[in-house]
Structure 1
């Protein structure tokens, strides 16, 4: 954990793997005077503030820039304050006792269903890059060619992104299955 007098950086365990645990941790840090400010590379950036008793929750939703105000206003009407966003991941905070964003299994299932589809598509695309890149590398005749290097880099980038994306997809599938209607 890196910190200055006014800011602190903490690493993330990955929202697909430990979302609830991380949101509970954010609440404990808010009680100590460290409030979530933004997402950071592989973690979160916190800022020093007055200690507050807060709960945090995440929502996964693709929101176009033009619709962001309406999206945030919807949550504000239910007592949730928008803290930060990164892509389709949005974090909100509220006072304890506020009705949870996802208060039943059906809405929670839909939340994970949305993000699972997006992550699944990313996984598939980069897995294809990996297969095509390494496959074409194997079929190039001149082993020192520039083209072979391009194919190899395409395969390397594909596998480098596809493996963590597959892990995330698998974790989200388990989470989605746990929330599915009985």
Structure 2
């Protein structure tokens, strides 16, 4: 957390997997007089100083086309939720008076929302896979190259780093989705009680577990590629 020129910056808890935590963070900051304005490109939530207020917040994923956006925002507005901002025109932040019902009316509709969001994440992460594969292929076929460029240690280090990163990224997203489905399999039951579910979420614990899994996967991939480097 950092305060600079009347603004406060806090790292997002993770809107893809911890939107309930995000809602509670925004609410608590609003009660302290810090009003949420946006999330910037590096994942920092930006707040501006103002009067204390008690509001409910909602973070939702929009999977429609640009033509459907107006109708989507109208639905929220009619339900009492005002749009604050959006992140990459996919994640939308809303604010309402305390006691305003959530936009999701049942567990099934919330489950559909989760599936659409995670499918979108998986599909978009696959964009990096061909790049990673190409870089690793270049690494393999230039192993005995006499080219000064490909024989350079820094060049080969960059090739293996970005090759592994882009190749493993889709796998990392898939692991995160599966992990969330297993650890928080009862999430849909709290479709209208995000505050209660937020108390069940353990961001630090989950981060440590996923980091350990990522380390193991990274080691396995490194072993497979050790002869190429």
Residue among 107, 110, 117 paired with 1:108: 110
What RMSD over aligned residues (CA atoms) do the two structures have, in Å? 3.0
Per the alignment, residue 166 of structure 2 pairs with 158
Q: Does 1:32 align with 2:32?
A: yes
Per the alignment, residue 217 of structure 2 pairs with none
TM-score normalised by the chain length of structure 1: 0.81
The alpha-carbon deviation at position 5 of structure 1 amounts to 4.9
The alpha-carbon deviation at position 28 of structure 1 amounts to 1.1
SS in structure 1 opposite 2:30? helix
The alpha-carbon deviation at position 92 of structure 1 amounts to 0.8
Per the alignment, residue 16 of structure 1 pairs with 16
Summarize the Cα distance change of 1:152–1:13 in structure 2 as closer, same or farther, 3 Å threshold.
Answer: same
Q: Which sits farther off after the overlay, 146-155 or 35-44?
A: 146-155
Cα distance in 1 for residues equivalent to 2:185 and 2:102: 20
Cα distance in 2 for residues equivalent to 1:33 and 1:54: 11
Summarize the Cα distance change of 1:52–1:178 in structure 2 as closer, same or farther, 3 Å threshold.
Answer: same
Equivalent pair of 2:22/2:59 in contact (CA under 8 Å):
no
Specify every segment of 5 or more residues in structure 2 that has no aligned partner in the other structure, as ranges: 190-229
TM-score normalised by the chain length of structure 2: 0.66
The alpha-carbon deviation at position 172 of structure 1 amounts to 5.2
Cα distance in 1 for residues equivalent to 2:146 and 2:122: 34
Q: Which sits farther off after the overlay, 32-41 or 161-170?
A: 161-170
Summarize the Cα distance change of 1:32–1:172 in structure 2 as closer, same or farther, 3 Å threshold.
Answer: same
Summarize the Cα distance change of 1:160–1:84 in structure 2 as closer, same or farther, 3 Å threshold.
Answer: farther
Specify every segment of 5 or more residues in structure 1 that has no aligned partner in the other structure, as ranges: none
Per the alignment, residue 141 of structure 2 pairs with 139
Q: Which sits farther off after the overlay, 31-40 or 6-15?
A: 6-15
Cα distance in 1 for residues equivalent to 2:149 and 2:110: 49
- Size of the aligned set, in residue pairs, is 181
Q: Which sits farther off after the overlay, 130-139 or 86-95?
A: 130-139
* Alignment of structure 1 residues 21-100 onto 2, 5 Å: 21-40=21-40, 41-87=42-88, 88-100=90-102
Summarize the Cα distance change of 1:126–1:177 in structure 2 as closer, same or farther, 3 Å threshold.
Answer: farther
Please tell me whether Structure 1 or Structure 2 has the larger radius of gyration of its CA atoms.
Answer: 2
Per the alignment, residue 2 of structure 1 pairs with 2
The alpha-carbon deviation at position 173 of structure 1 amounts to 4.3
Cα distance in 2 for residues equivalent to 1:61 and 1:171: 23
Equivalent pair of 2:121/2:173 in contact (CA under 8 Å):
yes
